[in-house]
Amino acid sequence: MSRFQAVERPQPGGRDPFRRSRNAHLHRSRRRRWVRRSVRGLLFMGVALGLTATVAVAGWRWMRTTPVFAIDHIQVEGLERSDAADLQARLAAWRGSNLLSTDLSAVRRLALTAPWVREASVRRVLPDTLAVRISERLPVAMTVIDGTLIMVDRHGRPIAGWDRALSGVNMPLLTGLDGMTPGRRAGQVRAGLAILARLDSYDADLIGSLSEIDLSRGDRVTVRLNSEPAPLYLSREDITVNLDHYLALRADIRTRVPAVEAVDLRWRGRVVVIPQSDQIAGNERKDG
């Protein structure tokens, strides 16, 4: 007999004696149990999430309706020139409303309607305070419109009527605007502010003594200085032309012409001194 005995291989379709038989019933039972556990877990998770969401929604609704968060204080910060009572009155409609449901953008837009307010930011301070921080517009000049003094900002936008509390603030006066259409008047105000900026960059000391800019004429700008007895006629195209020549000669001009009607500086290289009419008449009498 051979030492190695051939092992008979199973025929196709036959049973493999080296392989454990599969228990299909057992596998199906395990699979069903796993599916049931998974479904129960998913159902439990869904119920828990639903309860959590319901509680959260109910809590949020309660917070947005409860009087605990009713606005009782409106705190305004950044006031210097603004009328605090006026600003509080504009925002008073929000008192008593729920702080959490308040539209902060709407509050900001309402604060921006106040004359002095340039920018505003709004925040909630729990439990009952609405905090509004503002930055104010800076008046740089005054205008005379229909006999009323109006302060304007650096963009030429009207702020408010003249406030006596600002009497210590040095602001030049822009005149010659009466009778103009609103559009032309706004353009002239912007032109006056551009002149102020140009003169300020030219000589800061000069701008400190500037009292009035007359914008009524299209061919010139009439400037009055506190330090000068007579007005200066300046060119609209080049506001500072001949100005340095005049400042160098003004002491000599005062000696030679004691009564000056105006000084015309509109032509380059020329300083034209216009004497007062009575002085001209007196000189004519002397010459006669």
Give the closest residue to 187 by CA, choosing from 156, 232, 160, 165. 156
How large is the average pLDDT for residues 235-264? Answer: 89
Q: What pLDDT was estimated at residue 282?
A: 47
Considering only residues 206 and 286, tell me which one the structure prediction assigns the higher pLDDT: 206
Domains defined for the chain, CATH in brackets: 67-136 (3.10.20.310), 138-227 (no CATH), 228-288 (no CATH)
* pTM across the whole model: 0.66
Q: Which of 65-74, 207-216, 258-267 has the lowest mean pLDDT?
A: 65-74
Q: In this structure, what token pair is assigned to residue 246?
A: 């005049």
Average pLDDT in the chain: 81
Q: How far apart are the first and last CA of the chain?
A: 171
Please report, rounded to a whole number, the percentage of residues in the chain having pLDDT higher than 70. 74
- Band of the pLDDT at 66, cuts 50, 70, 90? confident
Considering only residues 85 and 14, tell me which one the structure prediction assigns the higher pLDDT: 85
Considering only residues 242 and 37, tell me which one the structure prediction assigns the higher pLDDT: 242
Q: Which of 92-101, 143-152, 242-251, 273-282 has the lowest mean pLDDT?
A: 273-282
Q: What pLDDT was estimated at residue 147?
A: 83
- Band of the pLDDT at 62, cuts 50, 70, 90? low
Task: Identify the residue whose tokens are 């008073």.
Answer: 92
- What is the DSSP code string of the chain? --SSPPPPPPPTTS--TTSPPP-HHHHHHHHHHHHHHHHHHHHHHHHHHHHHHHHHHHHHHHHHH-GGGB--EEEEE--SSS-HHHHHHHHGGGTTSBTTT--HHHHHHHHTTSTTEEEEEEEEETTTEEEEEEEEPPP-EEEEETTEEEEE-TTS-EEEE--GGGTTS---EEE--TT--HHHHHHHHHHHHHHHHHHHHH-HHHHHTEEEEE---SS-EEEEETT-SS-EEE-SSSTTTTHHHHHHHHHHHHHH-SSEEEEE--STT--EEEE-HHHHHHHHHHH-
Q: What pLDDT was estimated at residue 135?
A: 95
Give dist(CA 173, CA 216) in Å, integer: 13
Considering only residues 283 and 191, tell me which one the structure prediction assigns the higher pLDDT: 191
> Angle of helix 104-111 relative to helix 84-91, nearest 10 degrees?
140
Q: In this structure, what token pair is assigned to residue 209?
A: 């003594």
Give dist(CA 221, CA 46) in Å, integer: 80
**97-132 pLDDT per residue, tens:** 888 888 999 999 999 999 999 999 999 998 899 999
**167-212 pLDDT per residue, tens:** 556 789 999 998 888 889 999 999 999 999 998 888 877 778 899 9
- Longest distance between any two alpha carbons in the chain, whole Å: 171
